Amino acid sequence: MSLTLGKEIAVSTSYIKSNPAVPIYKGEETFENLFGMIYHIEIGFYEGKNEKIKEYIIIDFKEYTLSNKDKEGLLDKAKEYCQSKGKDLESNVEIFLLDNEETESFVEKLFDNMKFIRGLTTKRG
């Protein structure tokens, strides 16, 4: 199979912003105790003439499998992060635990939620 790059496609996002990553440690703040990272992505888009923002909090953890207690702990830390940034968890923020098995599901959900992307199938003149 031969892969090629296609022509650029215009989308109606006004911006995509990646905030600084935030490490989560299990114990002291040392490299050996790094347990996960929080990635915070903001996507600006227009709905009619109004600009809106959709935010994704992605928790990438280092363990292959997690106990329910560890999952809850990571989600609690992500919620704590959101509160410290004044983010409304009820309206425009989604939190994901991300591992290799969940990557495909995350990407699919991200693009399903990005219904504001336009022009992906626009004809070119």
Burial 13-26 (b: 16+ CB within 10 A, else e): eeeeeeeeebebee
Going by C-alpha positions, the residue among 54, 41, 52 that lies closest to residue 113 is 54
Q: What is the pTM of this model?
A: 0.67
List the pLDDT tens digit at each of the 125 positions of the chain.
788 787 776 556 677 788 888 899 988 998 888 888 888 888 888 777 788 888 888 888 877 678 889 989 999 999 999 999 988 778 788 888 876 455 556 655 665 554 444 444 334 44
Which residue do the tokens 């496609």 mark?
9
